C-alpha cells in the first residue's frame, strides 16, 4: 500500500491566483493603450486581463519596431548579416560547390546587366585584375 493509504497527508497543490488591478483612466495613456484597455473592459466596467492574442501580437509588434530601428541605425551590418545568413543556409542545404556555382552565375549576371546598362565598373575591375 502507498503512504497516502496509511494516513499520510498529501502535499498541497500550487495554485496561481490572478489579481486584476483596476486601471486608472488618466490623460497620460496613449490612444492605442486606451483602445486596448477599453476593449478589455467588461460589462460591469471592470477590466479583464489582456488576452493572449493581444499580448503576443503586442510583443511581436514591439520587437519588429526595435529591429527596424536597429536596421536603420546600422544598415551595412544588417545587410551583411542577412547575406551571411543566406549564404550559410545555402551551403548547409545544397552544399558548398552548388553554392559556389550559383554565386558564379549571379556574378556573371551582374556583369552582363552592368554592361547592358552602360556601366562598365565590373568589367574594368576584371581587366585591372588580369592586366597586372
Which residues touch 29 (CB under 8 Å, ≥6 apart)? 37
What's the Cα-to-Cα distance from 116 to each of 42, 45, 125, rounded to whole Å? 65, 68, 16
Q: Say if 1 falls within a structural domain.
A: no
Q: What is the pLDDT along the chain (132 residues), one digit of tens a residue?
A: 555 556 677 777 777 776 767 766 554 444 444 444 444 555 556 665 578 888 888 888 899 999 999 989 999 999 999 999 999 999 999 999 999 999 999 999 988 998 899 888 888 888 898 987
> Which of these three, 73, 89, 104, is where a domain ends?
73
Contact of 65 with 57, CB cutoff 8 Å: no
Q: Are residues 24 and 60 both part of a single domain?
A: yes
Q: How many domains does the chain have?
A: 2
Contact of 30 with 40, CB cutoff 8 Å: no
Beta strands in 1-132 (DSSP E): none
Q: Are residues 35 and 69 both part of a single domain?
A: yes
Q: Are residues 42 and 81 both part of a single domain?
A: no
Q: Say if 7 falls within a structural domain.
A: no
Range of the domain at 123: 75-131
| Statement: the pTM of the whole predicted model exceeds 0.75 | no
Amino acid at each position: 500500500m502507498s503512504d497516502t493509504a496509511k494516513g499520510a497527508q498529501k502535499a498541497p497543490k500550487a495554485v496561481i491566483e490572478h489579481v486584476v488591478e483596476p486601471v486608472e483612466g488618466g490623460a497620460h495613456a496613449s490612444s492605442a493603450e486606451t483602445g486596448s484597455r477599453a476593449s478589455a473592459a467588461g460589462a460591469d466596467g471592470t477590466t479583464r486581463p489582456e488576452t493572449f492574442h493581444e499580448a503576443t501580437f503586442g510583443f511581436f509588434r514591439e520587437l519588429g519596431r526595435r529591429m527596424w530601428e536597429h536596421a536603420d541605425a546600422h544598415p551595412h551590418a544588417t545587410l551583411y548579416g542577412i547575406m551571411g545568413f543566406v549564404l550559410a543556409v545555402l551551403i548547409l542545404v545544397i552544399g558548398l560547390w552548388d553554392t559556389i556555382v550559383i554565386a558564379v552565375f549571379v556574378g556573371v549576371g551582374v556583369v552582363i546587366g552592368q554592361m547592358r546598362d552602360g556601366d562598365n565598373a565590373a568589367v574594368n575591375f576584371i581587366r585591372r585584375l588580369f592586366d597586372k
